[in-house]
Amino acid sequence: MSHAGATHFDPERERMMLEAVERFLAREVRPVARGLEHEDVWPAEIVAKMQEMGLFGCIIGEEYGGLGLSASTYAKIIERISRVWMSVAGIINSHLIMAACVQRNGTAEQRSRYLPRFACGELRGGLALTEPDCGTDLQAIRTVARRDGEHYVVNGTKTWISNGIHGAAFAVLVKTDPRAEPRHRGMSLFICEKGPGFAHSRKLEKLGYKGIDSAELVFDGYRVPSANLVGGVEGQGFKHVMSGLEIGRINVAARGVGIARACLGGVGRLCADAQDIRQADLRAPSDTDQAGGHGDALGGRASPDRGCRARIRPGAAL
Ligand SMILES: Cc1cc2nc3c(=O)[nH]c(=O)nc-3n(C[C@H](O)[C@H](O)[C@H](O)COP(=O)(O)OP(=O)(O)OC[C@H]3O[C@@H](n4cnc5c(N)ncnc54)[C@H](O)[C@@H]3O)c2cc1C
């Protein structure tokens, strides 16, 4: 990013970072990923380890305590994580979109107040745009923030918010002028920390991409200080969100590459396995030689046919 909190590419640093990430994945994530995904359990220990490694500050500038990594190094980290368990990439993604909104658009005071806490992972969260009646058409949001002295009073509901339960701070898109035309001119972005009037409600269940907490956020007379209006000016929220989503799109694209690589690896292993079975099959006595069974895969001894060979015959699914 070329904005405040500059990040840069350093090949040696990238190599070391990727090695550390690979070690972390092998030791801490791979052994538990399947179980946590199926049980839909939020991975507390993995999050703590990522915090220790500085991953919640990957793309936050070093002057704010982040790692200041380039977007391409960040993409490689996400790709490796997604090969093992994609949900972990989502936990980082929403948090860093919020951080990018502040890093790119926040006032100097907002950057120095929030970015160090985001970078060390002490304050984690995400991005709250979607509402029960509004997804793609973001300009139709109904959550409203009305000015009241040195605060704004927020009312509304957000849904499908990643990190919604375990996150404590969110970049929240609201209408500060619901009558503005064009509609995006009435939209503003606030950093809202959970407290009186702002809480999560239910956790939403999913078919996959589990572990990460998707939830509803409810604002009921929540008072957010006007100092938390990103950039300090009303009407810029839509633009701020779009700039933060840029890093989110890089994350999502890198996830796709990671998943595709994992699939390719899986298919490769299946093919190698099938090849072993085929070679063993060719060495074994045929069904006509030995009715009701065939040779043991490696020893050539007679054993019951377990149907393994079906996996390598033409037309059979691998
Ligand atoms: C697992 C998960 C995590 C999420 N995390 C977050 C999060 O952290 N923060 C957040 O704010 N949101 C989050 N979301 C919400 C997500 O951003 C929305 O689902 C998305 O914006 C789409 O909105 P929708 O689901 O209401 O679909 P809709 O807006 O109803 O769209 C449904 C379909 O219609 C199409 N469509 C819509 N409008 C038009 C049109 N005018 N012309 C042609 N086609 C159209 C869309 O492309 C889509 O294919 C999450 C969702 C999921 C499932």
Lowest pLDDT segment from 5-9, 146-150, 219-223: 5-9
pLDDT band per the 50, 70, 90 thresholds, residue 49: very high
311 — pLDDT class (breaks 50, 70, 90): very low
Nearest to 152 by CA among 219, 101, 106: 219
Residue nearest to atom 9 of ligand 1 (CA): 161
Query: Could you identify the atom of ligand 1 that is nearest to the CA of residue 163?
Result: 8
* Residue whose C-alpha is closest to residue 124's, from 50, 221, 233: 50
CA 258 / ligand 1 centre spacing (Å): 23
Ligand 1 atom index nearest CA of 138? 21
pLDDT at 145 over 60: yes
Q: To test the ligand 1 pocket, which listed residue (87, 136, 157, 187) has its Cβ within 8 A of the most ligand atoms? A: 136
Taking CA atoms only, the protein residue closest to ligand 1 atom 14 is 160
Identify the residues whose C-beta falls under 6 Å from ligand 1. 94, 126-130, 135-137, 160-162, 206, 209, 214
Which residue minimizes the CA distance to atom 53 of ligand 1? 160
Q: How far does the centroid of ligand 1 lie from the alpha carbon of residue 131, in Å? A: 10
Assess contact for 207 and 40: CB atoms under 8 A.
no
- Inter-helix orientation angle 237-283/71-84, to 10°: 50
Mean pLDDT computed over every residue of the chain: 89
Q: What is the pLDDT of residue 273?
A: 84
Which letter, b or e, does each residue of 253-262 get, where b requires 16 or more Cβ atoms within 10 Å of its Cβ?
ebbebbeeeb
How far, in Å, is the centroid of ligand 1 from the Cα of 111? 29
What confidence tens digit (pLDDT) does each residue in 253-299 have?
999 999 999 999 989 888 888 888 888 877 776 554 444 333 333 33
Atom nearest to 134 CA in ligand 1: 26
In this structure, the residue with its CA closest to atom 25 of ligand 1 is 135
Distance 191 CA to ligand 1 centre (A): 22
Q: Could you tell me the pTM of the whole model?
A: 0.87
In a mutational test of the pocket of ligand 1, which residue from 40, 141, 160 has the highest number of ligand atoms less than 8 Å from its CB?
160
Give how far Cα 7 sits from Cα of 13, 29, 65, 78, 293, Å. Answer: 12, 27, 12, 17, 64
Contacts of 175 (CB under 8 A, 6+ apart): 141, 142, 143, 144, 145, 186, 187, 188
How many angstroms separate the alpha carbon of residue 84 from the centre of ligand 1?
A: 26
Choose the residue to mutate in 92, 130, 207, 213 for probing ligand 1, maximizing ligand atoms within 8 Å of C-beta.
130
Nearest CA to ligand 1 atom 52: 160
Q: Whose CA is nearest to atom 18 of ligand 1?
A: 135
What is the reported pLDDT for 274?
A: 84
What is the spatial distance between Cα 53 and Cα 13, in angstroms, rounded to a whole number?
Answer: 14
Q: Smallest Cα–Cα separation from 187: which of 149, 142, 134, 126?
A: 142
- The one-letter amino acid code at 220 reads D
Please list, in sequence order, all residues whose beta carbon lies within 8 angstroms of the beta carbon of residue 288, skipping any fewer than 6 positions away.
Answer: none
Confidence of residue 147 (pLDDT cuts 50, 70, 90): very high
Rounded (5°) CA angle 15-16-22: 90
Nearest in space to 229 (alpha carbons), one of 167, 175, 181: 175
Mean pLDDT of 72-85: 97
